[in-house]
Chains A and B, each alone.
Chain A
């Protein structure tokens, strides 16, 4: 007698259940496949979504989640900050890099006199926020412009080029006279940063010192949150004098949104698993009906109700384990693809991705087990004499 037979002899119900599964191969495979689909749906969506979330969070962090942006609130008399306001902000935030900017849309005048809208930011020194890529910014920056990396690539602009800007036409009526030509002195390095413009001009070029936004650069996200709170306390007592926007709140919001979407999709996946459960129930019911006499014989020769229930539950759980095992491999592959797309490394499974995969398997097996309860109960409660009549 082989050692295998001895080991197998220790788990007789498992052996019986496994044999039963290989009896109706097609039916078993279909039932397991339905579980597989559910597990893949939950695992792939969950783990892929986790990778997506992770990548977006990284993006936001790259964009400087340590920054706080302040803009004029709805209840402010003017829709801009003046020097007084800046001073007040500076006092409130304490030691931190405060950069006031004025942003607006202008138009670029091209050679053929056509115009194209472009976003422009006036500021003191772009180096406070960005790195210079090509060209050089003079110490005393006047009457020249700096172009963002993306815009430069897009339009083929290089340091030394000339660009003519004009105020937006409908905004400032027919003020075509206000056209001015600037020399491009520098192109910025590529940045993920939030709220960047295409073109940067020295603040002296603006018609007034009315700032549309203040950026406060802190050293940590905690500090950013504290600054944001301090600003809200100081200015937004009763009225919304300023709009304070820090990326940590965006991070929180994004987490919420992505989690919500992910939960919704995983919920849809779970529905497919429930459908799979119904299919397992159906398969097991058919099996039980087909094996009615056989189960009757088992009962007659001394198998208890509990034995029958256990054998059939093991059987449906095996279907679930089979489907889940193959399904989780497929889901992991899909998740690995998502990892390499979003995170640049196929093996960068986040803990939550891992949880989704494990959860999908657990849910798959549990669903199959649950799906087997009714057929098993029915089979066990069939009276052997009824099953053996005829």
Chain B
């Protein structure tokens, strides 16, 4: 596969953003993409208040590979939604490149999300009426740069090993292939972070391994941080860093491992 995937001189905003970041040396030690401080997230259901996150701190650096593990209901998806600017914390602050996300309007958050974050979901969420290529193009369809978008989409699909499946519809693809399309889609806007909520949850072990390997490769090539939520202990092994969530709180990773919290 063509190794020069990160080569295209990005002329659009996300690329420009990142260029700027890289160029400012005073940020070098501190070029955190997203940082959370004492983040609390509460859900109100009727009269009851569920505290899904109980004041946690986290930060994601460029090219990080972070695995979020923990039992069901421990707040993993909640944390990922906060990282993905899909939600705002009840208390505490989440900063995107230093700016408190609670100061963003909904529109601002959408724009930031578009240029900074890529999503990969457990159930792929490909649009059934679009071909693999069109699915990958979809996040950039409103940009009116059809030619550039198409080239980039083809390049990404080739990179994830689907160069010969461009015109296939999702129902003509296997689960692993669908997830590869979804990964290509998540990279079309050249994000700084790729957020994956149980990306291997619907795949068998072997296919899941391939996907994780792909994440690892892309992380270096595309200069993208990967944050993945997982139930599976072996996924965590691939990661640089493991965030262990238990009941809305981060427990020390080693401690958690020794306590066997990761297992269900």
Are the C-beta atoms of B142 and A307 separated by less than 8 Å?
yes
Instruction: State the CA gap A16–B138 with chains docked (Å).
Output: 9
Which of A1, A8, A15, A388 lies at the interface centre, i.e. has the most chain B CB atoms within 10 A of its CB? A388
Instruction: State the CA gap A10–B144 with chains docked (Å).
Output: 5
Residues of A within 8 Å of B147, CB to CB, are: 1, 6, 9
Which of B115, B118, B144, B146 lies at the interface centre, i.e. has the most chain A CB atoms within 10 A of its CB? B146
Instruction: Specify the chain A residue showing the minimal Cβ separation from B149.
Output: A9
Distance in angstroms from A323 CB to nearest chain B CB is 22
Chain A interface mostly: helix
Residues of A within 8 Å of B6, CB to CB, are: none
B233 proximal to A (CB < 8 A): no
Are the C-beta atoms of B146 and A1 separated by less than 8 Å?
yes
Which A1-29 residues have C-beta < 8 A from chain B? Answer: 1, 5-6, 8-10, 12-13, 15-16, 19-20, 23
Are the C-beta atoms of B150 and A300 separated by less than 8 Å?
no
Q: Which of B107, B121, B129 contacts A304 (CB 8 A)?
A: B107
Residues of A within 8 Å of B141, CB to CB, are: 12, 15-16
Are the C-beta atoms of A385 and B110 separated by less than 8 Å?
no
A258 proximal to B (CB < 8 A): no
Instruction: State the CA gap A389–B52 with chains docked (Å).
Output: 15
**A interface residues, how many (CB within 8 angstroms):** 32
A303 proximal to B (CB < 8 A): yes
B125 proximal to A (CB < 8 A): yes
Distance in angstroms from A308 CB to nearest chain B CB is 10
Are the C-beta atoms of A302 and B189 separated by less than 8 Å?
yes
Are the C-beta atoms of A294 and B125 separated by less than 8 Å?
yes
Q: Kindly supply a per-residue 1/0 record for chain B positions 105-149, scoring 1 wherever the CB is within 8 Å of any chain A CB and 0 otherwise.
A: 011001101110011010001010110000000110111111100
Which A245-267 residues have C-beta < 8 A from chain B? Answer: none
Are the C-beta atoms of B142 and A300 separated by less than 8 Å?
no
Are the C-beta atoms of A300 and B113 separated by less than 8 Å?
yes
Are the C-beta atoms of B106 and A301 separated by less than 8 Å?
no
B81 proximal to A (CB < 8 A): yes
Are the C-beta atoms of A302 and B139 separated by less than 8 Å?
yes
Are the C-beta atoms of B146 and A303 separated by less than 8 Å?
no
Residues of A within 8 Å of B145, CB to CB, are: 9
Known interface pairs A1-B147, A300-B119, A304-B107. Does A385 touch B142 (Cβ–Cβ under 8 Å)? no
Distance in angstroms from A367 CB to nearest chain B CB is 27
Q: Kindly supply a per-residue 1/0 record for chain A positions 291-317, scoring 1 wherever the CB is within 8 Å of any chain B CB and 0 otherwise.
A: 001101111111111110000000000
Instruction: State the CA gap A183–B81 with chains docked (Å).
Output: 106
Residues of B within 8 Å of A303, CB to CB, are: 110, 139, 142
Residues of A within 8 Å of B16, CB to CB, are: none
Known interface pairs A302-B115, A302-B189. Does A23 touch B129 (Cβ–Cβ under 8 Å)? yes
B232 proximal to A (CB < 8 A): no
A384 proximal to B (CB < 8 A): yes
- Chain B interface size band reads 20 to 34
Q: Which of B111, B119, B125, B129 contacts A19 (CB 8 A)?
A: B129
Are the C-beta atoms of B125 and A388 separated by less than 8 Å?
yes
Instruction: State the CA gap A306–B87 with chains docked (Å).
Output: 18
Known interface pairs A294-B125, A305-B106. Does A300 touch B84 (Cβ–Cβ under 8 Å)? yes
Distance in angstroms from A74 CB to nearest chain B CB is 76
Instruction: Specify the chain A residue showing the minimal Cβ separation from B84.
Output: A300
Q: Which of A8, A12, A388 contacts B142 (CB 8 A)?
A: A12
Instruction: State the CA gap A13–B143 with chains docked (Å).
Output: 11
Which A54-76 residues have C-beta < 8 A from chain B? Answer: none
Residues of A within 8 Å of B81, CB to CB, are: 385
Instruction: State the CA gap A299–B81 with chains docked (Å).
Output: 13
Instruction: Specify the chain B residue showing the minimal Cβ separation from A296.
Output: B125
Residues of A within 8 Å of B220, CB to CB, are: none
B173 proximal to A (CB < 8 A): no
Instruction: State the CA gap A162–B29 with chains docked (Å).
Output: 125
Residues of B within 8 Å of A294, CB to CB, are: 125, 127
Instruction: Specify the chain B residue showing the minimal Cβ separation from A13.
Output: B142
Residues of B within 8 Å of A15, CB to CB, are: 141
B219 proximal to A (CB < 8 A): no
Residues of B within 8 Å of A297, CB to CB, are: 119, 121, 125, 127
Are the C-beta atoms of A6 and B146 separated by less than 8 Å?
yes
Residues of A within 8 Å of B142, CB to CB, are: 12-13, 303, 307
Instruction: Specify the chain B residue showing the minimal Cβ separation from A9.
Output: B146
Are the C-beta atoms of A302 and B113 separated by less than 8 Å?
yes
Are the C-beta atoms of A301 and B138 separated by less than 8 Å?
yes
Instruction: State the CA gap A91–B129 with chains docked (Å).
Output: 86
B180 proximal to A (CB < 8 A): no
What are 24 A-B contacts defined by CB distance under 8 Å? A6-B146, A6-B147, A9-B144, A9-B146, A9-B147, A23-B129, A293-B125, A294-B125, A296-B125, A297-B121, A297-B125, A300-B84, A300-B86, A300-B119, A301-B118, A301-B138, A301-B139, A302-B189, A303-B110, A304-B110, A304-B111, A305-B110, A383-B87, A385-B86
- Other contacts beyond A19-B129, A302-B113, A303-B110: 11, CB < 8 A: A9-B144, A10-B144, A12-B144, A15-B141, A20-B129, A297-B125, A298-B138, A300-B119, A301-B119, A304-B106, A385-B87
